[in-house]
A = this chain, B = another copy of it.
C-alpha cells in the first residue's frame, strides 16, 4: 500500500466513526512514524486536523527527523497545518487533492517546501461527497 493509500485509509477510518474524512501519515526513512485523521467530531477538537493528529501521534521527534520526513495528506493543508509543517521544517508534502479546498500551498512553496499535488480521484470524491452533505460542519473546520 502506498503512503497516500495509508492517508486515505485514515480518512476512511474517520468517516466510519462519523468524522470528517481527512487523513495523514508522516513518513521517515520510508516508514510511517505517525498516522492520524481529523478529530473534530470524535474528540470535539478544534486543532486536531488530520495533519496535526499525525504529528501528535508521531510523538516528540528530534528536529533532524522532521527535516527528513514527508507528510502525506488527503487534502491541501490549511494555514494551521501548513504552519506546523513550517515549524518543524518538514521539507516535502504530498497532497491528495486541492480541488475541494486550497490551503496555504503558496506559503509552503515560498518557504522552500516541496509541494506535490496528486489530484487523486478517490480523495476528490470522498471530500466532495462529505462537503455536500455536511457543509456547516465543513465550514466550522476551516473557520468559515
Please list the residues of chain A having a beta carbon within 8 angstroms of any beta carbon in chain B.
Answer: 40, 44-47, 52, 55-56, 58-63, 66, 78-84, 86-89, 104, 107, 139-140, 142-144
CB atoms of A62 and B104 under 8 A apart: no
5 inter-chain pairs at a CB distance below 8 angstroms, sorted by A residue, are A44-B59, A44-B60, A47-B52, A80-B80, A86-B104
Across-interface contacts of A88 in B (CB, < 8 A):
46, 143
Across-interface contacts of A81 in B (CB, < 8 A):
83
* Cα(A44)–Cα(B140), bound, Å: 28
CB atoms of B143 and A66 under 8 A apart: yes
CB atoms of A84 and B89 under 8 A apart: no
Most B CB atoms within 10 A — which of A61, A88, A144?
A: A88
* Cα(A60)–Cα(B104), bound, Å: 22
* Cα(A112)–Cα(B94), bound, Å: 29
Which residue of the partner chain B has the closest CB to A111?
Answer: B79
Most B CB atoms within 10 A — which of A60, A87, A88?
A: A87
CB atoms of B84 and A47 under 8 A apart: yes
* Cα(A142)–Cα(B59), bound, Å: 15
Across-interface contacts of A139 in B (CB, < 8 A):
63
CB atoms of A59 and B46 under 8 A apart: yes
Q: Tell me how far the C-beta of A44 lies from the nearest C-beta in chain B, rounded to whole angstroms.
A: 6
